């Protein structure tokens, strides 16, 4: 199976090349030339398979030239009980009244990014070998929090790779910072940047595209690579859990084979929900994809109007991983809905870059409205939802998932659609313990405790164990102390690599 660029001005490539390159040379995103169908009787047999077997079945047709043994080895290295705290990897929990929670946060960093970033490094190493590229991969990441830690855990001690993560020294939560500066592994480097996320991100982009830097790297046997969510290697693993959740729902009698479900997805860069759209294309019975946004509601407006307009204020919210105004992966949806009209996609992306806004024709907007439904929830609503869901069901939500639960309640009330619905839970509530504790025990009570005491309090309230990797953070030695100015980022990369 070949991959083509959404902008239509780059040659088709193999899966391995798409994963190695990350982004196409014409600035577009790689998409498979076709989507393999999974027939209903086969989906009906999924409940008898493990998560690992389901994963192998879904991803194999997308990875031509990868042998079954190679794919099994990658999956085995990614999804196992040393890495994931739950044997089902992505378990489904019933909330009652026909709604379900799909927990995607049992991986090493307690957020859904692990579902992709545990597998992707293994796919990248194999892809490099298959494309005849012997260089060692240097993964450069700028992070606002979750991605950096998930990428560090995914790449740690993976042979043939080194990972360098830049984070804004004053721009991440205390828990997130501790998670990163205590990172273990013999190929991991974490550097604070004096500045905000944009400083870190623009610094990384400059290093990536600096010809002199690239030449020096090449001479030393290295090559830059990226682990961000436009890489096909990060999207592909996410299709799996949509099928897996449907299988688990079949197993508990929540649906009969072939009956449709809705998925509700807390959305930022449009990667997670796009995987759901692809699952639907492949034959999974999905009625609606409910797109839940926070105050940065650019996608809600797009779903309702067909106008994407990023010219609006940026809000810092308690669901920071959804604080995003340019949702890169939407480009892939537009490509699919226009019947692969690369010229149209190129135009819209050009308008977005130059004017900050574009509008799709009514025929496309109507398709978007048929498949998607969207609303957004502010911080106060998310906190109230955490409190109310805990009171009613004894189930604790993190702020991102709370946005989804709040939006789903509005979907239900507005449309009166009683189709069984699966809400994707993207982070452990323990990871966002301060805001979650405020919702559960009150702001004043929460203010009296430090981060680690709050973990114990939440554990007492829920009867859930404190995630091991968060509890032990208090005693872990700091291994990464570098903090640099924005202008020194290039120098520090050269120093780390010894070039
Ligand atoms: C990244 C992230 C999201 C948003 O996912 P996208 O694929 O960017 O839409 C939502 N919740 C959490 C906790 C995340 O880390």
Pocket-forming residues, ligand 1, beta carbon under 6 Å: 111-113, 146, 229, 266-272, 321-322, 400, 426-427
Q: What is the pLDDT of residues 465-475, one digit of tens each?
A: 999 999 999 89
Q: How far apart are CA 499 and CA 493, in angstroms?
A: 9
Query: 289: part of which helix (H) or strand (E)?
Result: strand 286-293
70 CA to centre of ligand 1 in angstroms: 29
CATH number of 92-108+237-430: 3.40.50.1100
Average pLDDT estimate for 86-96: 96
Q: Whose CA is nearest to atom 14 of ligand 1?
A: 321
pTM, entire model: 0.95
Q: Which of 111, 293, 327, 432 to mutate to test the pocket of ligand 1 (most atoms within 8 A of CB)?
A: 111
pLDDT over threshold 80, residue 173 = no
Q: How far apart are CA 88 and CA 394, in angstroms?
A: 21
Q: What is the pLDDT of residues 253-294, one digit of tens each?
A: 999 999 999 999 999 999 999 999 999 999 999 999 999 999
pLDDT over threshold 80, residue 445 = yes
419 CA to centre of ligand 1 in angstroms: 24
Beta strands in 318-376 (DSSP E): 357-359, 372-376
Rama region for 258: left / alpha / beta (φ>0; ψ in -120 to 50; rest): left
113 is catalytic: yes
CB atoms within 10 A of CB 457: 18
Q: Which of 268, 300, 401, 404 to mutate to test the pocket of ligand 1 (most atoms within 8 A of CB)?
A: 268
Name, in order, each residue with C-beta under 8 angstroms of 444's C-beta and a sequence gap of 6 or more: none
Per-residue model confidence (pLDDT) at position 209: 81
Q: Which of 104, 264, 322, 325 to mutate to test the pocket of ligand 1 (most atoms within 8 A of CB)?
A: 322
Query: 292: part of which helix (H) or strand (E)?
Result: strand 286-293
Average pLDDT, whole number, for the chain? Answer: 95
Q: Whose CA is nearest to atom 2 of ligand 1?
A: 321
């Amino acid at each position: 199976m070949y991959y083509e660029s959404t902008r239509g001005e780059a040659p088709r490539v193999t899966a391995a090349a798409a994963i190695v390159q990350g982004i196409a040379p014409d600035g577009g995103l790689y998409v498979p030339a076709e989507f393999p169908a999974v027939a209903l009787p086969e989906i009906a047999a999924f409940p008898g398979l493990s998560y690992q077997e389901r994963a192998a079945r879904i991803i194999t047709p997308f990875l031509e030239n990868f042998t079954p043994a190679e794919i099994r080895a990658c999956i085995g290295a990614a999804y196992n009980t040393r890495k994931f705290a739950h044997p089902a990897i992505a378990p489904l929990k019933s909330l009652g009244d026909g709604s379900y929670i799909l927990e995607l946060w049992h991986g090493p960093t307690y957020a859904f990014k692990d579902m992709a970033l545990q597998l992707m490094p293994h796919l990248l190493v194999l892809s490099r070998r298959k494309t005849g590229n012997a260089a060692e991969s240097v993964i450069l990441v700028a992070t606002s929090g979750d991605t950096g830690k998930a990428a560090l855990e995914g790449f740690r001690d993976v042979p043939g790779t080194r990972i360098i993560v830049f984070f804004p020294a004053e721009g991440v939560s205390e828990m997130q910072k501790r998670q990163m500066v205590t990172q273990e592994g013999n190929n991991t480097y974490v550097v604070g940047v004096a500045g905000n996320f944009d400083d870190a991100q623009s610094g990384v982009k400059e290093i990536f595209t600096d010809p002199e830097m690239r030449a020096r790297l090449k001479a030393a046997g290295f090559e830059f690579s990226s682990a961000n969510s436009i890489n096909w290697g990060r999207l592909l693993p996410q299709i799996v859990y949509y099928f897996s959740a449907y299988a688990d729902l079949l197993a508990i009698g929540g649906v009969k084979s072939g009956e449709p479900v809705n998925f509700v997805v807390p959305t930022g860069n449009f990667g997670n929900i796009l995987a759901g759209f692809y699952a639907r294309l492949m034959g999974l019975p999905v009625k609606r994809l409910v797109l839940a946004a926070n105050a940065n509601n650019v996608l809600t407006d797009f779903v309702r109007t067909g106008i994407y307009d990023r010219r609006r204020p940026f809000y810092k919210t308690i669901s920071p991983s959804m604080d995003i105004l340019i949702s890169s992966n939407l480009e892939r949806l537009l490509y699919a809905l226009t019947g692969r009209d690369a010229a149209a996609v190129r135009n819209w992306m050009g308008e977005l870059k130059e004017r900050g806004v574009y509008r799709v024709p009514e025929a496309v907007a109507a398709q978007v409205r048929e498949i998607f439904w969207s609303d957004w929830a502010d911080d106060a609503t998310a906190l109230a939802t955490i409190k109310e869901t805990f009171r009613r069901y004894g189930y604790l939500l993190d702020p991102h998932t709370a946005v989804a639960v709040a939006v789903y309640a509005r979907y239900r009330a507005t449309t009166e659609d009683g189709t069984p619905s699966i809400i994707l839970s993207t982070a452990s509530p323990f990871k966002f313990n301060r805001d979650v504790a405020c919702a559960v025990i009150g702001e004043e009570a929460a203010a009296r405790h430090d981060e680690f005491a709050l973990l114990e309090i939440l554990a007492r309230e829920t009867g859930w164990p404190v995630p091991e990797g968060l509890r032990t953070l208090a005693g872990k030695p700091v291994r990464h102390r570098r903090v640099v100015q924005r202008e020194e980022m290039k120098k520090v990369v050269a120093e780390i690599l010894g070039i």
